[in-house]
Structure 1
Amino acid sequence: MQARLVYAGCMALWLILSALAALSIASRSLLGAEQQFNNQSQQLTEQLKQRLLTNETVLDSYATFSALDHRNEIRQKHPFVLQLLRRYPQITTLAHIERVPQSRIDGYNRQLQREYGAGYRLRAYARPSAARPLPAQDEYFPLMFAEPQSQGNLQLVGMDASQQPQLREALQETLNSGRTTLSRQLRLPDGEAGYVLLRSIDKHQASGPLELQPRHFAMLFIRADSLLPPDLILPPGMAVSVRHRDDPLRPPGGQALLLGNSHPDALERLLFPRLETSQLLGGAGQPLRFTLSWQQGWAQIGLFEWVVWLLLSLLLGSGLALASYSFVRSNNSRRLRESQLFHLANHDRLTGLANRNLFYDRLQHAISRVDRSGKRLALLFLDLDRFKPVNDTYGHIAGDRVLQLIAARIQDVIRNEDTVARLGGDEFVILMEDIESNREADKVVARLKQAIQMPYPVDQHRIMVGVSIGIAYYPEDGLLIDELLAVADRKMYGNKQSPNRQSETVA
């Protein structure tokens, strides 16, 4: 039982030390992962800022070009515009918007029909074939030109940008502030999620009369997925999100830019930290919120760390196993030595029976139990008859052998709960507990005499000895141990003087 406790304690200690080692190794890995997270965040932030600056520069170039010759721009393709689109593939469309008052709608419609066909006219945000009536308002903001002149972009011509909520907000912001404005996320003509970057072409004066307000606007469509590098590979558990400041994480009109996989299990969320940083980029004109998060997990602990931990765990387990085995073995050896010393101190070396010390101790305990239970006990004193001639005739070795055989026969006769002891020489004593009557002790005495008086084969000799037995009962014959032994000894001598005793030695 003690050995099991030692082994169980060593196992628990091994688990604790292995967990601490794993925590230490994991901490180093997580520190490296935190540095990687900071580097990734800085790199993506710089790339996103550069992309926003590039988009604004392209829009400024297009606005400058449109200001020089916006009339020709709406009628023909320009190599400069095509060159911009080829160089910056994240831009899907470059467009020109004109502010048209209510009084000029008829002239504007005639201009569209003259340049693009009879089906074109000022309309809400829809295909020309599915046009719906425009709501009455003071002025409109139709698209006059969209480059490249694809089928999808031609359908945008004549569309009133103020009828689209995201574009209307961007137009209003541009009119109020005079700066470049990024719209909230919307669906681009090709169906992809994206943004519109808008700025005025004319000189802006927000506090002036209506005719000093800008009448022409340059606009470019940007794909949302182009804001980040196309070859971006994120480690497991890392996710990056880019969205307009005023957009929810998942806009109703499209999917925000969300890359990576951040779906850890419950154990990873419990054991590993989560890193997250969020920044607002682009200033007031292009307010994009960049969020980078990384839920640390098992994947952040590399193969080298796992191997180191496994080797360290094995070394700890081997050391603890060796230490526990040595401790248990040493403890068992000590207990064995103590048991041997106890046996030598309390047993007869020749016969292995209890000696006087152990017998006195058991007799004292038996008397204490009898006092509590009210039962009786018997003390049998045995003395061998004519044993001295055995030593004189056959030697002490043969005599010792006879004593060993006698001890074995006595143990075969008595009950398991009885105690037999050798007091010295050829004297034995038996303690019988919980006896009901004297007849029980008499029957044992008869069996003992029969067994002891049978011949003993020793070195091709048949040796016979007799035995005299005296009985003392507790509490009738005495209350003390010495009194009981004295009574049993006296009765034994009385039995030895009986003319019917038999104690012959036959060779």
Structure 2
Amino acid sequence: MHARLVYAGCLVLWLILSALAALSIASRSLLGAEQQFNSQLQQLTEQLKQRLLTNETILDSYATFSSVDHRGDGRQNHPFVSQLLRRYPQITSLARVERVPAGQAATYSHALQLDYGLAYRLRGFDEKRPLPKQEAYFPLTRAEPPSQANLRLVGRDIWQQPQLREALQENINSGRTALSRQLRLPPQGDPGYALLRSVDDHQNDQLIGLLPQHFAMLFIRADSLLPTDIALPPGMEINLRHRDDPLQPQSGISLRLGDAHPGALEKLLFPRLETSQLLGGTSQPLRLTLSWQQGWAQIGWFEWAVWLSLSLLLGLGLGLAGFSFVRSSDNRRQREQQLFHLANHDRLTGLANRNLFYDRLQHAITRLDRSGKRLGLLFLDLDRFKPVNDTYGHVVGDRVLQLIAARIRDVVRNEDTVARIGGDEFVILMEDIESNREADKVAARLKQAIQMPYQVDHHRVLVGVSIGIAYYPEDGLLIDELLAVADRKMYGNKQSPSRQSENVG
């Protein structure tokens, strides 16, 4: 786990340094980005201003035509309108709107029927909803070209359409041309905008100073506002929308050019240029947003080669440093573990020594004081072991001690602590015992296991063992008291007549 953290830290540091190196090296290729960005913005602004001016000019021309020819047959395709639509394909429809007071609604519907047929009348923009009562209505009196779909718009009250109502209200309040928010254009339902202005056809002096009575309107396809003949560099994006529209209109489309899908690393390493400005003044308030996320495409081959070489050198250096640190740390930890083991374990048998045994016994007593359970302390002393050293030598004696330690570990539980506290003396700590019988059974198995013969270097060795058992808390509350009781019971066991006859035999 420690090595993984070190290598992970080296990896994170390498990524950070590589990113900083990339930013530093990439700055050489990004010096001209801002100048190119400003040039692109100026070009776009000029093109869009020209298109907006064209749309307003078309609307003015149609308004003039509408004021002169407002009594013409709306079902006939006028050559002037046909020419406008052919020359400017971004215009889907042209329409004339009339203000009809509520008291003249029936008269207006009768006039529509005379001009268009009995099926026509004043109605809501959405035919599924009934026409509400209001002071005045603003139906489309003419929709051109006079296709079947456009003719179905005649008589519909645009006041019922939210985007058209806002534009109409803006025109009435300010007297200027107004651009609607994005909407679904009739008759096909394509996303677009409506450009609307009042028509100055006051032939009666009594109408001067009152609300406009007629309006000219044209529908513009939304996608026609953005230029299609412009080449954008990688990462650059153009967004165009009405000033009051969200980035993604609910009823239309988002006007975007460019394929800007930078990755998270590009966003982190490279700068982003962005500017937003209003176009069209107060009559056509469109917001143009130009953004350019710099990325890998702006870096040349030379910069790539330099960055890659530097990144590899950084990775190699950090890898060697991390490996050296982990190796040094592992060696230090191994030495610490070895020193701890030597300080707390018997070198010959590998069992716990007196220090470690005292420490575990103290912890066990502390735990038992809280839980109310008992523990047993077994004191083992080997019989007839000194003659083994005298007869066969200390090498054989040490080997016998190692075999005895192994047999003790096989008999006791994994959670029990076995320690060698003297030359031929062992102690066993049994925690959480239920009764004395449990410790007695372990003592019986230990005697049986230890007294079995040992075969060492063609020598058959027999030893015995005496065991004394002390219980906490019955036999004492302190470590020394428990050891003393166990030692005394062990000595009593050694001096019993049966043990003496066994030793003699």
TM-score of the superposed pair, with normalisation by structure 1: 0.54
In 2, distance between residues paired with 1:214 and 1:243? Answer: 28
Structure ID, larger Rg? 1
C-alpha contact 1:66 1:73 (8 A) present in aligned 2: no
Shift of residue 222 of structure 1? Answer: 0.6
Residue matched to 1:27: 27
Matched, 1:281 2:288: no
Q: Equivalent residue of 1:121, what SS?
A: coil
Q: Equivalent residue of 1:290, what SS?
A: strand
Shift of residue 116 of structure 1? Answer: 2.2
Residue matched to 1:254: 252
Letter in 2 for 1:188: L
Shift of residue 145 of structure 1? Answer: 0.9
| CA 1:17–1:240: 2 relative to 1, 3 Å | closer
Residue matched to 1:371: none
Which deviations, in whole Å up to 9, do the C-alpha atoms of 1:88-109 show, x marking residues without a partner? 1111111110111112212221
Residue matched to 2:178: 181
Matched, 1:58 2:58: yes
Residue matched to 1:46: 46
Matched, 1:81 2:81: yes
Residue matched to 1:134: 131
Residue matched to 2:5: none
Q: Gaps spanning 5+ residues in structure 1: where?
A: 1-13, 322-507
Residue matched to 1:377: none
Structure 1, 211-220 or 180-189: larger mean CA deviation:
211-220
Q: Equivalent residue of 2:257, what SS?
A: strand
| CA 1:73–1:304: 2 relative to 1, 3 Å | farther
Which deviations, in whole Å up to 9, do the C-alpha atoms of 1:189-227 show, x marking residues without a partner? 1222111000011268xxx97873211110000111111
C-alpha contact 1:183 1:195 (8 A) present in aligned 2: yes
C-alpha contact 1:239 1:292 (8 A) present in aligned 2: yes
C-alpha contact 2:23 2:269 (8 A) present in aligned 1: no
Shift of residue 120 of structure 1? Answer: 1.4
Structure 1, 147-156 or 288-297: larger mean CA deviation:
147-156
Matches within 5 A, 1:129-168: 130-168=127-165
C-alpha contact 1:203 1:214 (8 A) present in aligned 2: no
C-alpha contact 1:147 1:153 (8 A) present in aligned 2: yes
Residue matched to 1:197: 195
In 1, distance between residues paired with 2:73 and 2:180? Answer: 24
Residue matched to 2:452: none
Q: Equivalent residue of 2:133, what SS?
A: coil
Shift of residue 15 of structure 1? Answer: 11
In 1, distance between residues paired with 2:265 and 2:18? Answer: 18
Residue matched to 1:90: 90
Letter in 1 for 2:181: R
Q: Equivalent residue of 2:233, what SS?
A: coil
Shift of residue 62 of structure 1? Answer: 0.7
In 2, distance between residues paired with 1:263 and 1:22? Answer: 20
Residue matched to 1:36: 36
Shift of residue 58 of structure 1? Answer: 0.6
Which deviations, in whole Å up to 9, do the C-alpha atoms of 1:414-473 show, x marking residues without a partner? xxxxxxxxxxxxxxxxxxxxxxxxxxxxxxxxxxxxxxxxxxxxxxxxxxxxxxxxxxxx
Q: Equivalent residue of 1:134, what SS?
A: coil
Which deviations, in whole Å up to 9, do the C-alpha atoms of 1:239-291 show, x marking residues without a partner? 21111111111122112312323332221111111110000111111111111
Letter in 2 for 1:257: L
C-alpha contact 1:91 1:220 (8 A) present in aligned 2: yes
In 2, distance between residues paired with 1:222 and 1:163? Answer: 20
In 2, distance between residues paired with 1:220 and 1:249? Answer: 24
In 2, distance between residues paired with 1:199 and 1:137? Answer: 22
Q: Equivalent residue of 1:72, what SS?
A: coil
C-alpha contact 2:184 2:192 (8 A) present in aligned 1: yes
Q: Equivalent residue of 2:197, what SS?
A: strand
Matches within 5 A, 1:62-461: 62-72=62-72, 74-126=74-126, 130-189=127-186, 190-202=188-200, 212-303=210-301, 305-306=303-304
| CA 1:21–1:196: 2 relative to 1, 3 Å | same
Shift of residue 150 of structure 1? Answer: 2.0
In 2, distance between residues paired with 1:109 and 1:16? Answer: 74
C-alpha contact 2:75 2:146 (8 A) present in aligned 1: no
In 2, distance between residues paired with 1:39 and 1:83? Answer: 35
Letter in 2 for 1:232: I
Letter in 2 for 1:226: S
Letter in 2 for 1:280: L
| CA 1:144–1:298: 2 relative to 1, 3 Å | same
| CA 1:308–1:203: 2 relative to 1, 3 Å | farther
In 2, distance between residues paired with 1:303 and 1:151? Answer: 60
Over aligned residue pairs, what C-alpha RMSD do you find?
A: 3.3
Q: Equivalent residue of 2:196, what SS?
A: strand
Which deviations, in whole Å up to 9, do the C-alpha atoms of 1:336-369 show, x marking residues without a partner? xxxxxxxxxxxxxxxxxxxxxxxxxxxxxxxxxx
C-alpha contact 1:112 1:158 (8 A) present in aligned 2: yes
Structure 1, 238-247 or 217-226: larger mean CA deviation:
238-247
Shift of residue 305 of structure 1? Answer: 4.3
In 2, distance between residues paired with 1:113 and 1:69? Answer: 19
